[in-house]
Amino acid sequence: MNGPPSDLAELIQGHKAAWDRFVHRYAGLILSAVRRVVGSEGEIDDVVQDVFVRLCKDDYRLLKQFDPARAGLSTWLTIVARSAARDAIRRRRLTTQAIDVTPEAAFAVQPPSFERLQIPEGLLSPRQHLVVKLLYQRDLEVADVARFLDIDPQTVRSTHHKAMLKLRAHFSALDEEHRG
């Protein structure tokens, strides 16, 4: 039941019709693989959606790893789906265990703070300032910022990292001044 390689090539290039055909063709297979592992009806749809997100995330990075010489597409997708299902079960166990042993006071919600961090003028480069603003004030994901700025997601992550280093250094120095 393997799709022709040209279908995958179109899919990876971002053709919506190819994605729609792919989802229509393999959704049942993925649903079946997830259902066998998860068992909990309430969680199955979320895990199936997670499988499709994994396949197209980071410019179809996972889907690009499919090697028809090693396995058929149906077999490979079943493995990916089962892996996602096992990850979901592990996350559920960890969350349940952590909640069971955590004191109730740890779940108390602090009232929101409406103070905004004031970044001194000139501390960050204009790009660093914009990336920080988009990530934290606009609450965008790295991929969204990359598309918005028309740069590579790794550039966004690197710019963010450098900005955080500058901010930590600056505010650590301020903290030392107040203590001393």
- The CATH number for 56's domain is 1.10.1740.10
In this structure, the answer to whether residues 62 and 130 fall within a common structural domain is no
Domains held by the chain: number = 2
pLDDT digit string, tens, across residues 145-174: 999 999 999 999 999 999 999 988 888 887
Helices (H), 39-152: 41-64, 73-101, 126-132, 142-149
Averaged pLDDT, 14-25: 90
% residues pLDDT > 90 (the chain): 31
Centre a 10 Å sphere on the Cβ of residue 173 and count the other Cβ atoms it contains.
9
For the cut 80, the answer to whether the pLDDT of residue 42 exceeds it is no
CA angle (42, 44, 46) in 5-degree steps: 90
Is the pTM above the cut of 0.75?
Answer: no
- Length, in residues, of the chain: 180
Residue where one domain finishes, among candidates 74, 105, 136: 105
pLDDT digit string, tens, across residues 71-90: 899 999 999 999 998 888 88
Domain range for 34: 5-105
pLDDT digit string, tens, across residues 85-125: 888 888 877 665 555 565 666 555 555 444 566 788 888 99
Residue 114 forms part of a structural domain: no
